[in-house]
């Protein structure tokens, strides 16, 4: 009997058995068919609206009738508008301050809970509670709380002898700080849970070894905890930045972008341009530009996170 | 015999793939589910948009309509003032609008685009009964599209009678605060007893517009005011400019009020509900309001008596009056499911019976038709006083109610807020308003 490679079960290096190739092809087809509905959903509910926004950004439309293509007119108008640049800078600063505040506070809280401070189980719930409150309700609550004479904050300050007529939301130089405060208050809970999860993944043996070597709790935090949760920190900070940048409900509920546009962030500007002034073309232009900025920020954040993981 | 051995990745991948497919299918099915039909078991549902404070009026209107139309159920959909002036236009022009909607944004564009049903047929009977100045606000290019909810008066300052007595404030016989100096005197006396002045919702988006309306009307002649009212209409000549002394003086007066502490502390960051809370609690001695506030005072069982005054005109002017508004206009979207039934509903709304019982006697508003038997009105004494004041002293038309919102109220209110916050001058605000009007033309 002549022996062939097939009859002996041998094959050339780099080739697969015929049955294996067909099976892998079937698997690929199956996977493609399986994820196709999800891809279609993403295209339908994200891709198409995004494309429509881009088309609208090069159109003039008042919300009634058909849009009219105007080329780059909207982009020229928006990119030469001082209001747009002021709003952009304000939004970036607001988002950065909110993200930084949330990340710092959440890190501190997570470190405290993961170290087993008394009442940890209670704190896990109570510090997460603001995160589940609807943003509109949070806006209404804090808007009233910061009112002079009738607000909770002023009542507490009045009780402490610090006066009860502070009108932070009515002043152009202080309204933005109220926004940042409320945003941090609402965002700390979720970030706290993320970071707590990351910290609790660190093996206890690492801390024990550090303790044996004489490292203080503070030294352990900066030399062990922070470096090991850095990827989670990066993701948390990036997400909070994006969410604050895109945040509309809280700003609208508290100040509607006022007084005197001192809290006019890009999402509020988009809303006003579209739904108050019925300039949907320019509103879409602002939205597209904001989206591009966020994509760039997200890209660099991902690269930074990946490079840090690569270093490890 | 060969034995098939599946790879580890396939063993994990298949269940995951199945789950992904099931999940995506679930989303696809839920996304494809249609809206509930308005007809079920022979019943027809008529959807009508209302505002939150319309409850007592709608109770009577709806029960009457349902009794006259067996098999019809009226479903009320509450929208906020903000929704009305922003996103409601898109809802009206959509393929699934309510049957009866509140006119929103620049509703005249909706009419010209064919999104609203012409109502000339029902106005054959209604038009001769309308109060003066109403018909023009309901028409687009000579065709009726809007139905008024009732006449209302705006821009008066309600005051706490007992607090005024405690502060030793003398009430003008004709209810008019004659001058800015008199206004400052009233506010200072209120502050001397620990109260605030005029409570106003600075973030509400419309109350600064009311103040501009009253001041502008007091600063202009009839011809000038007519020019401002038609300034956004491209077919009308633009005989006035918002940089003219009359408009600038109105803004300067308003700024002076702000600088002199007429309004409550923190008013630029307060909404109308928070302003009302200050008044209801007796913290603010006055509140800027409209005639429908009378019903709200009754509902909230205030512990004090309220009356009203007319805020002063610009310096040098003699005339200050309340502002007349025909209330929100109701429209019938062309794409609604029950157009003819909707027309019957709004027609009933304009009947003498409903204008009397539902609109007036619930203290919601005042009849916008002239054929109502006024002796049958059972409105609150404060409401009757408002009607009497309007009859004897007359009223001004509202600029911010006539000029389309996107170039009127939506522009002036935030700009005035900025002016009062010190971010701009009256001249700059006036220039912005002029730019907005020129852009609309």
Residue range A132-155: mean pLDDT, rounded: 91
CATH architecture of the domain formed by A78-311: Orthogonal Bundle (1.10)
- The model's confidence at residue B304, banded by pLDDT at 50, 70 and 90, is very high
Does A171 sit within 8 Å of B268, measured CB to CB? yes
- Residues of B (314-343) whose Cβ lies below 8 Å from A: none
Mutate to test the interface with B, among A37, A45, A77, A172 (most CBs of B within 10 A): A37
Cβ-count burial of A293 within 10 angstroms (0-12 exposed, 13-18 middle, 19+ buried)?
Answer: middle
Note the pLDDT of residue B25.
Answer: 52
The ipTM estimated for the assembled molecules is 0.80
Domain ranges of chain A: 14-69, 78-311
Q: Which helix (H) or strand (E) holds A69?
A: strand A68-69
Q: Going along B15-123, which residue ranges are E strands?
A: 39-40, 43-50, 72-78, 101-102
Q: How far apart are CA A284 and CA A265, in angstroms?
A: 15
| A273 contacts in chain B (CB < 8 Å) | none
- The reply to whether A309 touches chain B by the CB within 8 Å rule is no
**Model confidence at B4: pLDDT above 50:** no
Confidence category of residue B35, pLDDT binned at 50, 70, 90: very low
Q: Could B269 and A27 be called an inter-chain contact, meaning their C-beta atoms sit closer than 8 Å?
A: no
For testing the chain B interface, which of A275, A280, A282, A283 should be mutated: the one with the most B CBs within 10 Å?
Answer: A275
CB distance from A168 to chain B under 8 Å?
A: yes
Whole-prediction pTM? 0.83
Q: C-alpha angle B16/B17/B20, rounded to 5°?
A: 85
* Confidence class for position B13, pLDDT limits 50, 70, 90: low
In chain B, % helix, strand, coil (3-state, to 5) comes to 50, 15, 35
A31 touches chain B (CB under 8 A): yes
Q: Which residues of B touch A169 (CB under 8 A)?
A: 266, 268-270
Best mutation target, A175, A259, A273, A281, to test chain B (most B CBs within 10 A): A259
Q: Give the contacts of B12 (CB within 8 A, at least 6 positions apart).
A: none
Of A18 and B56, more confident: B56
| CB-CB under 8 Å, B20 with A149 | no
- Beta carbons of A149 and B277 less than 8 Å apart: no
Res. B19 pLDDT band, cuts 50 70 90: low
- Look at residue B34 in the predicted model and tell me its pLDDT: 40
pLDDT at position B31? 44
The whole-angstrom distance between A175's CA and the closest CA on chain B is 8
**Residue B38 pLDDT greater than 80, yes or no:** no
CB contact under 8 A, A258 and B414: yes
pLDDT at residue number A125: 84
Instruction: Convert the pLDDT of each residue in B387-415 to its tens digit.
Output: 889 888 888 989 998 888 888 999 999 99
Q: Which residues of chain A lie closer than 8 angstroms to B440, CB-CB?
A: none
Give the mutation candidate from A141, A149, A253 for the B interface (greatest B CB count, under 10 A). A149
Confidence at residue B18, expressed as pLDDT on a 0 to 100 scale: 53
**Is the per-residue pLDDT at B87 higher than 90?**
no
- DSSP single-letter state for residue A45: I
pLDDT above 50 for A214: yes
> Does the pLDDT at position A16 exceed 90?
no
CA B157 vs CA A94, A286, B141, B360, B386: distances in Å = 38, 40, 36, 21, 12
* Consecutive H or E run containing A60: strand A59-60
From B72, B57, B128, B93, select the one nearest B328 (Cα to Cα). Answer: B57
Average model confidence (pLDDT) for chain A? 89
What pLDDT shows up at residue B37? 41
Q: What six digits make up the tokens of A134?
A: 């609807």
With b for 16 or more beta-carbon neighbours within 10 A and e for fewer, the B402-432 pattern comes to bbbbbbbbbbbbbbbbbbbbebbebeebbbb
The answer, yes or no, to whether residue B111 has pLDDT greater than 60, is yes
Interchain contact A201–B (C-beta under 8 A) = no
Detail the DSSP E strand segments found in B195-327.
196-199, 284-290, 306-310, 322-325
* CA nearest to A144 within chain B: B274
Q: Is A65 on the interface with B (CB under 8 A)?
A: yes
State the nearest Cα–Cα gap between A107 and chain B, in angstroms.
33
Mutate to test the interface with B, among A82, A252, A276 (most CBs of B within 10 A): A276
Residue B257 has pLDDT above 80, yes or no: yes
B31 vs B223, more confident: B223
Query: What would the pLDDT profile of B141-176 be if each residue is shown by its tens digit?
Result: 889 999 988 888 999 999 999 999 999 999 999 999
Answer whether B78's CB lies under 8 Å from B102's CB.
Answer: no
User: Residue B159: what are its φ and ψ, rounded to 5°?
Assistant: -135, 155
Mean pLDDT of the residues in chain B: 88
Pick from A149, A167, A275: CB nearest B269: A167
pLDDT at B42: 72
CA–CA separation, A183 vs A23, rounded Å?
52
Write out residues 206-265 of A within 8 Å (CB-CB) of B.
255-262
Decide if B421 and A262 are in contact by the 8 Å CB cutoff: yes
Domains by residue range for chain B, with CATH: 43-148+328-364 (3.40.190.10), 154-325+395-440 (3.40.190.10)
A311 to chain B, closest Cα gap in Å: 29
Interface of B with A in 380-419 (CB under 8 A): 405-406, 410, 414, 417-418
Q: What is the mean pLDDT of residues B50-65?
A: 91
């Amino acid at each position: 009997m002549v022996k062939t490679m097939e009859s002996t079960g041998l094959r050339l290096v780099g080739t697969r058995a015929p049955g294996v190739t067909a099976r892998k092809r079937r698997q690929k087809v199956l996977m493609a068919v399986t994820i196709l509905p999800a891809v279609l959903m993403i295209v339908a509910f994200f891709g198409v609206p995004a494309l429509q926004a881009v088309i609208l950004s090069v159109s003039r439309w008042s919300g009634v009738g058909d849009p009219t293509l105007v080329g780059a007119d909207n982009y020229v108008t928006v990119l030469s508008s001082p209001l747009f640049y002021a709003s952009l800078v304000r939004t970036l600063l607001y988002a950065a301050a909110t993200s930084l505040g949330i990340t710092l506070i959440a890190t501190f809280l997570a470190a405290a809970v993961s170290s087993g401070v008394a009442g940890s189980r209670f704190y896990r719930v109570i510090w997460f509670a603001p995160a589940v409150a609807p943003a509109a309700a949070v806006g209404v609550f804090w808007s009233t709380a910061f009112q002079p004479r009738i607000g909770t904050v002023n009542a507490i300050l009045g009780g402490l002898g610090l006066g009860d007529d502070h009108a932070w939301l009515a002043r152009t130089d202080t309204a933005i700080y109220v926004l940042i405060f409320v945003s941090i208050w609402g965002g700390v809970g979720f970030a706290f849970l993320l970071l707590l999860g990351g910290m609790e993944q660190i093996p206890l043996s690492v801390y024990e070894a550090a303790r044996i070597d004489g490292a203080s709790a503070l030294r352990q935090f900066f030399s062990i905890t922070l470096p090991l949760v850095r990827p989670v920190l990066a993701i948390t900070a990036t997400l909070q930045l994006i969410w604050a940048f895109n945040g509309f409900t809280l700003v609208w509920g508290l100040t509607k972008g006022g007084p005197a546009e001192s809290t006019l962030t890009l999402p509020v500007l988009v809303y006003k341009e579209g739904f108050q002034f019925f300039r949907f073309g320019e509103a879409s232009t602002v939205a597209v530009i904001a989206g591009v900025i966020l994509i760039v920020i997200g890209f660099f954040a991902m690269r930074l996170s990946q490079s840090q993981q690569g270093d490890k | 015999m060969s034995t098939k051995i599946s790879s580890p990745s396939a063993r994990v991948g298949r269940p995951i793939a199945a789950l992904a497919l099931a999940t995506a299918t679930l989303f696809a099915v839920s996304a494809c589910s249609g809206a509930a039909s308005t007809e079920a078991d022979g019943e027809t549902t008529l959807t009508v948009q209302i505002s939150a404070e319309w409850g007592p009026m709608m109770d009577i209107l709806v029960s009457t309509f349902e009794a006259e139309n067996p098999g019809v159920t009226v479903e009320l959909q509450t929208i906020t003032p903000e929704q009305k002036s922003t996103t409601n236009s898109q809802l009206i022009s959509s393929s699934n609008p309510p049957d009866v909607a509140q006119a929103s944004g620049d509703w005249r564009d909706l009419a010209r685009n064919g999104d609203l049903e012409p109502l000339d047929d029902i106005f054959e009977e209604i038009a001769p009964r309308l109060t003066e100045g109403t018909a023009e606000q309901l028409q687009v290019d000579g065709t009726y599209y809007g139905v008024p909810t009732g006449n209302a008066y705006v821009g008066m300052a309600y005051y706490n009678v007992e607090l005024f007595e405690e502060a030793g404030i003398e009430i003008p016989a004709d209810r008019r605060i004659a001058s800015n100096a008199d206004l400052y005197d009233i506010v200072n006396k209120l502050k001397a007893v620990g109260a605030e002045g005029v409570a106003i919702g600075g973030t509400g988006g419309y109350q600064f517009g009311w103040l501009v309306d009253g001041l502008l009307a007091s600063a202009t002649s009839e011809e000038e005011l007519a020019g401002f009212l038609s300034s956004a209409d491209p077919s009308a000549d633009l005989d006035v400019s918002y940089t003219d002394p009359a408009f600038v003086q109105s803004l300067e007066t308003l700024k002076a009020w702000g600088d002199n502490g007429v309004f409550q502390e923190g008013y630029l960051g307060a909404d109308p509900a928070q302003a009302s809370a200050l008044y209801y609690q007796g913290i603010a001695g006055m509140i800027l309001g409209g005639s429908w506030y009378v019903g709200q005072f009754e509902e909230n069982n205030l512990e004090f008596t309220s009356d009203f005054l007319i805020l002063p005109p610009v310096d040098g002017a003699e005339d200050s009056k309340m502002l007349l508004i025909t209330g929100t206009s109701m429209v019938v979207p062309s794409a609604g499911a029950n157009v003819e039934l909707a027309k019957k509903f709004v027609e009933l709304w304009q009947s003498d019976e409903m204008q009397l019982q539902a609109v007036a006697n619930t203290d919601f508003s005042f009849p916008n038709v002239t054929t109502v038997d006024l002796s049958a009105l059972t409105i609150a004494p404060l409401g009757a006083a408002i009607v009497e004041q309007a009859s004897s002293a007359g009223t001004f038309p509202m600029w911010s109610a006539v000029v389309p919102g996107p170039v009127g109220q939506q522009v002036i209110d935030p700009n005035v807020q900025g002016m009062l916050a010190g971010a701009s001058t009256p001249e700059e605000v006036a220039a912005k308003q002029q730019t907005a009007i020129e852009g609309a033309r």
